[in-house]
Chain A
């Protein structure tokens, strides 16, 4: 092309004007694909790969006039200069300063049309591909630590998507809805989840967080917006360029859970044989060999395990009585001891291969890619996630005024289902294998990898009574075959027509289809733990689940511009949009297979369950807006939007939203005196956006239960409207020395009309009705720093910092105070909602701790509390009863552990055991009732992330440290493992006679009344002050060492990299992973794993090491 231009130039050289030159960056490197424009003539060209450009202006348009040359390219500040355009050749070279703070970058999210970020009067975070140096399996994981927001990878299960709270929770009850932001990909409003996308296709991500910015999206924008733009050929040079990248490595799990390695079971004197319970006989009249009996009961041909001998004092059961205060867990298991975690967790491969093609031919520009991802996780017998995806993006210019952009994407992924996580008590049809639950219940003597003579894993290596339910976690994983298959197609067409410089018209249409199918098979012959057959388990189960969801979006936009002189620019926008989402589900399952090995629903003979469900959601949006810019430094923006939605009740079908915002660029004022401050923009915005009710909330219907029996649980509400977020956002964008960037934002968001299930009196027949009945207040501080300390040709060092702090408080509640949470066992009532309460505040029972709690004892006991008194603190800080003249170290030496304080002499009238933690009581009318007190908040006090990028010549070092500080987690796994004395702290290894504690200290140590909570840290299933713990952490989330090799034998542009993900976690948390939560499921109320901070046997995040090689040519 250049040759032809030069040839043409040669013929007309004498009359035409030829401007050529080179565009470089501030290091002197050539900039390709920079846009060089003669503004007044509306002539533009792109630089070539060497940064060179040539503009030929026909003689007819050359008159010696002065025109403006403007040069711009992504990642650099634009520049312009006047030139005199005269016949003949002239050279104009340009050097563009790197726009390290992206102030000049164009943003498209939340604004009426593409706008330079510095002119946007509200906060928009932009993350381009250069900041996404470490590839991830899904786009949201890629964003962690890159912006101030609460993005929590609550589960490490391959294919799991992080939970996102951009500015705190917005819904008190998101049951059947979501706290997640609206996701948009290339203008396509995404139908639910993002994990099918290939992150390597991402060119940039824009994030608007609150209603002040997201008003443009009306009833769908209340939780903010994440807008992803994929790569395209828009800025491609003529020709085709290929890129190939391959990455391979291993995944494992960084931390251990900490399972007890000692036992409290009774053994003989040599600690080699276990005592066997014999009716009417002394405790150890007969002994047995544990490993022998493991063989005996497991190595049977039957589908169920045999009966192990009983043990007289068996901590695997619900133990009570004297042993709780007599036994100390100090004995090593005889023979070999196994680490259950290391038997379940194993290294698995992680590979990702990407190939893409970018190019341009005339007016046609394109990007196409293919990707293959294998993320097998780190659990033995599981295959994790496999995903193949393809993308084709085409931009077609037709003449100078019409552009058509086509985006298509298809992916197919298979995932090994939910076999590793899930409830503690999986039922035959339950997908949750509960492997991590049972993992916390495996005693050290249990070899989870032992096979019987028929080649079957031992089903019950744990002989203890609890072993009947805590069977081998690996058995389920090895013998229940579950695959979830997802197919996704996303396509969109956008047409832009610019008939005149003052008007632009745009029409778009997009389509998103997501279908999933789950297939689960448990064959006949599946073993149960005996000692009797368990037909529903032994005779197999088959499950099928199929969903399909498709969304159409259409939109028509018109933007008009008018400038009043050169200083005052105005824009006006009109928009109409229509969206429709149709979803359906078909489900079937059953037990008792007729034939072995046949994986079809026709093979089930009993417990058949089938169901189906369908819904359609339709939304119409009407929008008008105006934007005014005066002298580039006074910016005013306003819009109104009217949304109609089928999700609103018929009595409230339409809702209005809007925004007014303004910015003042003080740094451009003539009087600005701080020359070191090269940009100083203040901005303020007020806007409203909404969150829609769930599909069924408006309908005054009966549910249909099994057998067609009507259910009247939820009464719909025909007047139900959206939750409305009213947000004020104030902020400043500052740049120092043209280099150091600071963005600070304060947002105050009041989310009114909370959609809540308001209880009804039982006489109504219905339990609850959905009503707009509450208000939430979010206050958020956000700060980002971009600190490019050194920027030289050979060496650069840049540090990035992000910080955010959110407080979410319930300010109005038109329903009685209530408890809420997730939907797993014992997690549904963990937070307390009342006016004035922080959102996600754990409530539960409290152990008195420290002398500061003496005052919480009722009189006169409170006066007998302190050093040397009857109530003292022990070495763990718990306040305990020791009696006058004693201290907490005397339990063994003075034989005090079995001493009891009768209820008649004890606080609240509840008997106490010597040395045991004391539950705070005195709730309500009954003094003996344990008090429910706040235990900590599930949301962090603040979060921060630090990135460091250092380059030296061809070498790049990059690291991201991501931290969440001050949040509490209910460590349910650690808590509940105390039931079987299998949490590590029950082991008394290393304890002295002064500090050792009996097993009842950790479980319960009830006197004859057997009341829960009378000593014992396990207490009850629900949260308490021992099990809800601070779980601050900092993670080395990403690390990269890369070396730019360049061409090899003149071919390609090679790069070698070593990548690490989740390498190190700095924390005092006792569980696997402090970054944890429960994704609620359909009936969970908070409905976000970023809120439900419960470590409920969840798959910890994976640590991954890989080596990657890439090239382009």
Chain B
């Protein structure tokens, strides 16, 4: 009996000891909104982390959403834009890059549906979390000083703008999120151009507010972790340049067709933004374990084989001066095989046979040439004859080899000044063309070692110099796209753009190519809002793209259509 009583008392004591609301247990693993926003410092820290989410929504995995690395649009974008070639079904690269192009059917469990949702959600989430923080800042009144408030507001508007802008680039519709609808989860979907207008407005606000921010300790440079850098080195001027650069990218990239890009893009504004934009590459210090990542190298270099990626023979061939490209174009599509690109362009491995090119030096970093390698034949991979090649993008190999740690450009200065150049070409006139040529020649000469395009040209049809050794050579419509001719100023611009932006930002070749008309016919020019979103909103699921179907691009330049080069 005594033992029983002891046990009873013991049990009761244990229970009573736990009786201070025993069922209320805190989650000490994750912060709720109160603790995340509790103090000015906490709120600022929260806001300062939101650009990482926006970045992650485009290039980086870093586990922002369940799903493997590369479960985003980027692998699809780069294959659809022929920036990369892979026939693998993984990450929907094969289906998206198939020629003739298929529709993005947006079906439940359709290929790529995880990636489609991922970017859509993550970019919305970045914008929403930034707007939540900005709304909280309004309630809080101040972070302590006016400078600090402005820095936070500038950064928050910047993230809102980047998030919405990325959505407007990729999707046909998205929700426009602001701090005024921060607690309203029923924001309707708006068309991409409306979303882009909102994004540009946010970026305008960011630039304006940033211009009013003072310097340290509360102002610029930005804290190092906000846009990951080795030190707190992003100055006020650099931040404002970055905002303007995003504006230039978004203004030009949002166009869905050549007509749209030609007629509806405010090129004067693009030029103005570009002139205020970055003058050197915008690098982020990648560190996957700290949430900053560029995920596609995970797979692209995973196996050493080119199954996962290789450069497009169709575009690489434009550098060839040996006649191999012409020969290749003349072949029946199914008979084409990768050929040796012999070119003066120093971004390519040099040599007149494969062994020599194999032995050409490989780049140690992103900054150095060559950009591409001619891979060992044993690493060749089969695929669509129009697209496969013996060339791999190599600038990022060092980055990959260091587990994706280190600086990586997510926006190049070349991108911005070439957008500037495009604006100038579109505006026409000798002076503008002269200015454009100078911009084109920056990388053409310094990186490619190619002769400068003619800065005295009076129209854009002027061909690039070099005679038979001209670069680029492009399929000639007059010859049924089965033979080449020297490209003109436009072709030189696009060549530089492709060379200098490859694998740098978000779908660089794709977003440009849809406005240039360089996508293979039927390529979807927008992603539909993910079926999961449509289901929740209880609206019909729809697909986009495919030859002759809604949302599909028209016949591609350079013969990218059935009966052209394929």
A residues with a Cβ closer than 8 A to B are 277-279, 307-310, 314, 317-322, 398-399, 401-402, 404, 425, 427-428, 463, 465-466, 468-469, 493, 495-497, 499, 505, 507-509, 529-536, 552, 554-556, 578, 580, 591-592, 606-609, 613-620, 644-646, 648, 650, 653, 695-696, 699-713, 759-767, 816-819, 823, 825, 829, 832, 843, 923-926, 928-929, 932, 1008-1012, 1020-1022, 1083
Contacts and interface: CB of A to CB of B under 8 A. Distances in A.
Nearest to A323: B382
A308 B305 CA distance: 12
B457 to A, nearest CB: 38
B429 interface: no
Contacts of B288: 607, 706
B69 to A, nearest CB: 9
B129 interface: yes
A424 B378 CA distance: 22
A700 B30 CA distance: 9
A704 B18 contact: no
B124 A618 contact: no
A1008 B332 CA distance: 11
Contact of B124 (A317, A399, A645, A765): A765
Given A279-B354, A762-B174, 16 more contacts: A309-B377, A310-B377, A318-B307, A402-B3, A428-B403, A465-B379, A468-B303, A507-B11, A592-B403, A614-B28, A708-B45, A710-B31, A762-B124, A818-B108, A1008-B385, A1020-B111
B533 A532 contact: no
Contacts of B121: 762, 767
Contacts of B46: 710
B49 to A, nearest CB: 5
A606 B403 contact: yes
A709 B185 contact: no
Contacts of A762: 120-121, 124-125, 174-175, 533
A767 B177 CA distance: 15
Interface in B108-136: 108-111, 114, 120-121, 124-125, 128-129, 132
A1021 B68 CA distance: 15
B334 A1010 contact: no
Nearest to A425: B302
A929 B24 CA distance: 51
Nearest to A175: B66
Given A701-B27, A706-B63, A402 B378 contact: no
B380 interface: yes
A911 to B, nearest CB: 10
Given A320-B382, A760-B536, A767-B65, A607 B289 contact: yes
Of B7, B8, B105, B288, most A-chain CB atoms within 10 Å = B7
Contacts of A924: 105, 107, 541, 543
Contacts of B111: 1012, 1020
Contacts of A701: 27, 30-32
Given A468-B304, A646-B24, A761-B185, A614 B29 contact: yes
Contacts of B383: 318, 320, 1010
Contacts of B354: 279
A277 B333 contact: no
B367 interface: no
A981 B470 CA distance: 44
Given A507-B11, A701-B32, A1008-B334, A932 B95 contact: no
B52 interface: yes
Contact of A932 (B12, B29, B107, B132): B107
B42 to A, nearest CB: 11
B435 interface: no
B99 A1010 contact: yes
Interface string B167-196: 000000011010000000111000000000
Given A530-B304, A552-B14, A765-B125, A759 B535 contact: yes
Contact of B31 (A308, A702, A759, A1022): A702
Interface stretch (B85-93, B240-248, B415-423, B489-497): B85-93
Contact of A699 (B27, B109, B114, B128): B27
Contacts of B291: 705-709
Nearest to A761: B536
Contacts of B380: 277, 310, 317, 465
B376 interface: yes
A58 to B, nearest CB: 25
Nearest to B188: A763
A307 B7 contact: no
Contacts of A619: 23
A318 B187 contact: no
Contacts of A708: 45, 49, 291
Contacts of B45: 708
Given A615-B29, A923-B105, A707 B225 contact: yes
Contacts of B290: 706-707
B105 A926 contact: yes
A924 to B, nearest CB: 5
Contacts, number: 328
B449 interface: no
Contact of B334 (A322, A497, A531, A1011): A322
Of B15, B30, B33, B111, most A-chain CB atoms within 10 Å = B30
B381 A404 contact: no
B523 to A, nearest CB: 13
Contacts of B100: 1009
Contacts of A761: 175, 185-187, 533, 536-537
15 contacts: A279-B340, A279-B353, A469-B305, A497-B4, A554-B11, A556-B8, A578-B15, A701-B32, A707-B225, A763-B186, A924-B107, A1008-B333, A1008-B384, A1009-B99, A1083-B66
Nearest to B533: A762
B381 A317 contact: yes
Contact of B105 (A318, A320, A818, A929): A929
A645 B402 CA distance: 47
B94 interface: yes
Top 5 A-B pairs, shortest CB-CB distance: A765-B128, A707-B291, A816-B535, A707-B290, A763-B175
A607 B8 contact: no
B1 interface: yes
Contacts of A653: 23
Of A535, A608, A707, most B-chain CB atoms within 10 Å = A707
Nearest to B187: A763
A834 to B, nearest CB: 10
A1010 B87 contact: yes
B102 interface: yes
Interface string B48-75: 0110110010000011111010000000
Given A710-B49, A1012-B89, A497 B128 contact: no
A557 B374 CA distance: 78
B334 A465 contact: no
Nearest to A606: B403
Contacts of B90: 1021
A320 B98 CA distance: 12
B289 A928 contact: no
Contacts of B390: 279
Given A591-B403, A763-B175, A767-B65, A926 B289 contact: no
Contact of A711 (B64, B105, B174): B64
A762 B177 CA distance: 10
Given A712-B129, A924-B543, A495 B4 contact: yes
B344 interface: no
B109 A829 contact: yes
A497 B7 CA distance: 11
A352 to B, nearest CB: 36
A404 B3 CA distance: 8
B76 to A, nearest CB: 14
B36 interface: yes
Contacts of B384: 320, 1008, 1010
A203 to B, nearest CB: 24
Contact of B32 (A463, A536, A700, A1021): A700
